[in-house]
């Protein structure tokens, strides 16, 4: 009987110590274990997170201010005069609210071909599903250099193909309205060196619009419609201010 008790002690005592040891380890290490497992789950996600909003709608804020300014009919003429005067003035870069990736900061309006697309800063696939997008490596309207704006050929941006030299393109932004005049419309490879040359030209203000070609193509194609246009009017951003 005594021998049986000794055997039991050799078996149960170590098990008891092991149980309490694991219990202490769990209590102390639970927060660390939970954090590590959460990190592993996050890293192993197959789908990228989606966001309901791409960025700030800077242009909507401008429209709200315009509506407020024109709510009083007696002040309409005075406000119009002020707005026209501000369009001719230079904008100080230090006072500018520059858009960041995902912001809607304007709209592209081309009356001749009935294009009216919201303009976003950035040209990712998610942004181009919402409207036109400006390539972040290009200059925003008003800055010295070339602005590069693209959009999906379907359903509407492909109509830039029907523009002709002399036609007018309007870019409305949260900080001012810009007018450009078309100088060239061409179909070329998406790596067209002439486009890269224009992007590197900081001697004047200019605009390039582009979309996939053929116009009825679904998905990416190697060719693009490129519309080049020269700056006509709009507030100039003064980098020295």
**129-156 pLDDT, tens digit each:** 999 999 999 999 999 999 999 999 988 9
Residues 145 and 85 in one domain: yes
In a domain, 33, yes or no: yes
d(CA 130, CA 120): 8
pLDDT tens by residue, 60-84: 866 665 544 444 444 444 444 344 4
In a domain, 185, yes or no: yes
Q: Which of 14-18, 34-38, 138-142 is modeled with the greatest confidence?
A: 138-142
pLDDT tens by residue, 191-220: 999 999 999 999 999 999 999 999 988 877
d(CA 214, CA 228): 18
Dmax over CA atoms of the chain, in Å, equals 111
Residues 122 and 25 in one domain: no
Predicted confidence at residue 73, as pLDDT, reads 47
Question: Are 229 and 108 a contacting pair, CB within 8 Å?
Answer: no
Question: Region 169-182: what's the mean pLDDT?
Answer: 97
CB-facing half-sphere around the CA of 99: CA atoms within 13 A:
29
Domain interval for residue 86? 58-238
Question: Are 153 and 212 a contacting pair, CB within 8 Å?
Answer: yes
Predicted confidence at residue 238, as pLDDT, reads 86
Residues 62 and 155 in one domain: yes
Residues 164 and 193 in one domain: yes
In a domain, 218, yes or no: yes
pTM for this predicted structure: 0.69
The SS3 assignment for 139 reads coil
Looking at the 3D structure of the chain, how many domains does it have?
2
Instruction: Calculate ∠ Cα 168-173-179, nearest 5°.
Output: 20
Question: Are 229 and 185 a contacting pair, CB within 8 Å?
Answer: no
Q: Which tokens is 55 given?
A: 């960025």
In a domain, 53, yes or no: no
N residues, the chain: 241
Residues 35 and 117 in one domain: no
């Amino acid at each position: 009987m005594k021998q049986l008790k000794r055997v039991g002690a050799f078996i149960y005592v170590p098990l008891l110590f092991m149980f309490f040891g694991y219990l202490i380890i769990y209590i102390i290490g639970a927060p660390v274990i939970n954090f590590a497992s959460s990190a592993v789950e996050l890293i192993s996600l197959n789908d990228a997170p989606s966001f309901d909003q791409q960025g700030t709608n800077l242009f909507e804020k401008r429209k709200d201010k315009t509506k407020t300014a024109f709510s009083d009919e007696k002040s309409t003429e005075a406000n119009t005069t002020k707005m026209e005067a501000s369009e001719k003035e230079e904008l100080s870069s230090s006072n500018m609210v520059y858009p960041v990736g995902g912001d809607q900061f304007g709209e592209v309006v081309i009356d001749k071909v009935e294009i009216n697309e919201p303009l976003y800063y950035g040209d990712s696939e998610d942004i181009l599903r919402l409207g036109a997008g400006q390539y972040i490596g290009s200059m925003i309207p008003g800055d010295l250099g070339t602005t590069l704006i693209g959009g999906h050929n379907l359903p509407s941006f492909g109509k830039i193909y029907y523009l002709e030299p002399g036609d007018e393109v309007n870019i409305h932004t949260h900080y001012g309205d810009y007018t450009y005049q078309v100088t060239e419309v061409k179909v070329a490879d998406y790596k067209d060196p002439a486009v890269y040359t224009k992007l590197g030209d900081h001697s004047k203000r200019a605009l390039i619009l582009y979309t996939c070609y053929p116009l009825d193509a679904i998905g990416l194609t190697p060719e693009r419609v490129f519309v080049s246009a020269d700056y006509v009017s709009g507030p100039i951003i003064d980098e020295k201010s």
